[in-house]
């Protein structure tokens, strides 16, 4: 592995491993993943945890936001990611509508992610309003990752997904939400699209890891949507996105060459045909 942290090579990374890295002051990485092949690549690269996120609604299924993705669709993707990995901690998103009605709905759907999907943890959005759900899940032995700041499932309340959350007095509310999630037993909290100074304040206040996505450099871990990280997405992207490759350009070139070879009769040639 290329990661500086010595993750276990013979078992799944656990929430205790992530906490230990945070306690040592060692930042760790997380990426979204929705299929077997990318999951294996990311694990080999040293990414400690993979999120089978409801962002798959947009990145895989072509929807305009995260709301339409269902439990059944996510469970299928969770299964694929689990099959493609051996050591990465796999976290499964609880999609919109799967936990908002209360603790029992949250428990039933989280159990599905673990029993049917094979995930080791679940993630849900919200602060103090979802503390009863977090209490119930952690009480049942299900690790829970929280998610604060820009919460995509609340797109219709937030008025869009480009707005920085937690500025001014709202930062105190976000900090209170983070502390409430920690008290309820969450093992980590995602902070999305918040001022860097607030990311630092929350990280300093919590013992559990903070996972930043547009929350500055002081979070204990970082997560990106893998298509953003790899340069597959186009258009106006959030300021925090850093593309580490030009995957879209590479795929476009390869597919264009393939189409041209087929059109010109160059593929398949004798070397790619059976005798």
Q: In sequence order, what DSSP letters do the residues of 227-255 get, joined into one string? A: HHHTT---SS--TT---SS-HHHHHHHHH
pTM of the predicted protein model: 0.94
What's the whole-number average pLDDT of the chain? 94
**Distance from the Cα of residue 264 to its chain's centroid:** 43
Beta strands in the chain (DSSP E): 28-32, 49-52, 89-93, 121-123, 144-149, 188-192, 210-213, 221-224
Model pLDDT, residue 33: 98
**Interatomic CA distance for residues 151 and 126, integer angstroms:** 7
Residue 190 structure tokens: 């995602």
pLDDT bin (cut points 50, 70, 90) of residue 227 is: very high
Those residues with Cβ within 8 angstroms of residue 116's Cβ, 6 or more apart along the chain or in another chain: 75, 79
Continuous segment of H or E residues that includes residue 75: helix 71-83
Look up 192 and say whether it is catalytic.
yes
Model pLDDT, residue 4: 60
Average pLDDT over residues 212-231: 98
Model pLDDT, residue 167: 85
For residue 245, the 8-state DSSP code is S
pLDDT tens figures, 49-97: 999 999 999 999 999 999 999 999 999 999 999 999 999 999 999 999 9
Residue 3 structure tokens: 């990661």
Residue 118 structure tokens: 């094979």
**Interatomic CA distance for residues 140 and 143, integer angstroms:** 9
Model pLDDT, residue 165: 75
pLDDT bin (cut points 50, 70, 90) of residue 151 is: confident
1 has pLDDT over 70: no
Angle at 117 (CA atoms; ends 12, 44), nearest 5 degrees: 40
269 has pLDDT over 90: yes
159 has pLDDT over 80: no
| Beta bridge partner(s), residue 222 | 29, 212
From 125, 173, 192, 197, the catalytic residue = 192
**Interatomic CA distance for residues 183 and 128, integer angstroms:** 10
Contact 29, 3 (CB under 8 A): yes
% the chain with pLDDT above 90:
89
């Amino acid at each position: 592995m290329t990661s500086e942290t010595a993750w276990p090579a013979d078992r799944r990374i656990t929430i205790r491993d992530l906490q230990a890295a945070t306690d040592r002051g060692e930042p760790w990485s997380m990426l979204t993943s929705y299929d077997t092949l990318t999951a294996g690549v990311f694990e080999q690269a040293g990414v400690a945890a993979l999120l089978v996120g409801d962002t798959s609604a947009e990145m895989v299924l072509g929807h305009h936001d995260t709301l339409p993705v269902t439990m059944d669709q996510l469970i299928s993707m969770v299964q694929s990611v689990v099959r493609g990995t051996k050591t990465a901690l796999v976290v499964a998103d609880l999609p919109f509508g799967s936990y908002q009605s209360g603790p029992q709905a949250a428990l039933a759907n989280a159990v599905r992610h673990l029993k049917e999907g094979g995930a080791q943890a679940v993630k849900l959005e919200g602060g103090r309003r979802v503390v009863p759900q977090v209490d119930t899940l952690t009480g049942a032995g299900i690790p829970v990752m929280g998610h604060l700041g820009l919460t995509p499932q609340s797109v219709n309340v937030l008025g869009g997904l480009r707005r920085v959350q937690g500025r001014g007095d709202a930062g105190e509310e976000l900090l209170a939400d983070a502390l409430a999630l920690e008290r309820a037993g969450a093992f980590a909290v995602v902070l999305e699209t918040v001022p860097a100074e607030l990311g630092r304040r929350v990280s300093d206040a919590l013992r559990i890891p903070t996972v930043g996505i547009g929350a500055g450099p002081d979070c204990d871990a970082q997560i990106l949507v893998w298509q953003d990280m790899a340069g597959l997405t186009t258009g106006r992207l959030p300021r925090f996105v850093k593309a580490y490759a030009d995957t879209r350009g590479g795929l476009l070139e390869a597919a264009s060459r393939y189409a041209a070879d087929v059109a010109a009769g160059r593929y398949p040639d004798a070397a790619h045909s059976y005798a």
